[in-house]
Amino acid sequence: MIGLFAKPIPEGPPLYGTLLPSLGDFCFTGIQPGIYYLMATSVSWEMPSTDILLPYRTLRTRTREPIIVETNLAVPHQQVTLYSP
Lowest-confidence region among 37-46, 49-58, 74-83: 49-58
What is the pLDDT, as a whole number, of residue 53?
65
Contact 36, 70 (CB under 8 A): no
pLDDT for the residue 58: 78
Which residues share a beta bridge with 4? 16, 38
Q: Phi-psi category of 12—alpha, beta or left, where left has phi over 0 and alpha has psi -120 to 50?
A: left
**What pLDDT sits at residue 41?**
85
Contacts made by residues 22-27, CB under 8 angstroms, sequence distance 24+: 26/2, 26/80
15 vs 3: CA distance, rounded Å: 7
Q: For residue range 7-53, list pLDDT tens digits in order.
A: 998 888 899 998 888 888 888 889 999 999 999 988 777 777 776 66
pTM, 2 dp? 0.82
CB atoms within 10 A of CB 55: 8
3-state secondary structure of 16: strand
Stretch 50-59: mean pLDDT, rounded? 70
